Each structure stands twice: as C-alpha cells, then as structure tokens.
Amino acid sequence: MIKYQDQEFLKIAAYTLLFNVNSINQKLGSLVKLDHELNFGGVTNGKLYGVGFMAYTDEVESKLYDFITQYNFIEEEDYIFMESGMFFGIKHEIDALAYKEQPVTLEIPWISSILTPNGTYVWAVAPNISLTEKQQQNQRIQSLARSHPNLEQFEKTTSLSF
C-alpha cells in the first residue's frame, strides 16, 4: 500500500528508489498499477514516489529490473536510486556534502535534494525550471535548512514555492 504525505519535502531512508510520478502516470496510468506490480508499498506526495530498502537483495534487484525493463523506464529520466547521506562522519566532523544538493540529483531536472542533520530530503522540481533556476532555488533552501534542519516541520510554518 502506498502512503500519501501532503508535503513537498520527502525524507529518504537508507537506499531509496525514487520515481517521477509524471513518468509513472505516462507509462502505467497510475501509482495504483505500480503498487500492484511491485508490491513494495512506498510513499508519495503526488510528485515523487519513493520506496526505501534496508537490504537491497538479489530478489529485489531482479524484480525491479524486470519491472523497469518491461515498462521502458529510463534511469535519471524517470527514476533514480539514492542513498541517504550521513551528516556527521568520523569524530563528529560534518560531511562536506552537508546542506548541499547531493551529487546524484545535481544534473537531473525533475528532482533536488539536501543533506541536513535530520536526514536527506528530496523534492520535485517544476518541469519548466532550468538547471540554473534549480540551483538558485537550492541555494535558498540550503540557507533556510541551516536554521531549520527539520524540513518537514519548516514546511508547515512557511510557504515555499516549487
């Protein structure tokens, strides 16, 4: 069963498969069909769909490969795999990627991300935004995240336009 979250920012877990919901709708017609096919559950905000894996087994990989191949999903155009980063490293040093867009989403126009002390968050980027505009939006969010690392709570108290 897919869980709906009415928020722009989605917090990802360990190893997460993320789909652009527009791609799912174009190729399958609905998230319901994806849920029936994969039976992984997951979460969506209506723009992104994500499912996290604590263990990425051969069985899971085989099932995903068959599904992605059958429906002609294209990596980075329709979906990505992403790992949640660690904010604090050895001796509690802050990771160099803290408060920055994570490398896996940098050149992908439909999704963005940030690593905060509370975890890695992703959000959908409007389809008509250029990569330059996406970077400007990210800089604004990076600044806000330094004072509000829990983006889910921050979103409830302010209005961000995406």
The answer to whether the CB of 160 falls within 8 A of the CB of 141 is yes
Could you tell me what percent of the chain has a pLDDT over 90? 44
pLDDT of residue 91: 66
Helix intervals (H) in the chain: 21-28, 31-38, 58-70, 131-147, 151-157
pLDDT of residue 158: 47
- Most confident of the ranges 7-11, 127-131, 138-142, 155-159: 7-11
Apex 116 CA angle, 53 and 161, nearest 5: 95
The whole-angstrom separation of Cα 154 and Cα 158 is 6
The whole-angstrom separation of Cα 6 and Cα 59 is 31
Q: Which of helix, strand or coil describes residue 102?
A: coil
Beta strand 48-53 with 43-44: parallel, antiparallel or unpaired? antiparallel
pLDDT class for 53, splitting at 50, 70, 90? Answer: confident
Average pLDDT, the chain: 86
Whether pTM > 0.75 for this model: the answer is yes
Q: Is 99 left (phi over 0), alpha (psi -120 to 50) or beta?
A: left
φ and ψ of 32, to 5 deg: -60, -40
pLDDT of residue 132: 87
Say yes or no to pLDDT of 29 above 90.
yes
AA letter at 146: R
The domains of the chain are located at 3-83, 99-157
Give the other-Cβ count within 10 Å of 125's Cβ: 21
68-116 confidence digits (pLDDT tens): 999 999 999 999 999 887 766 666 766 677 888 889 999 999 999 988 8
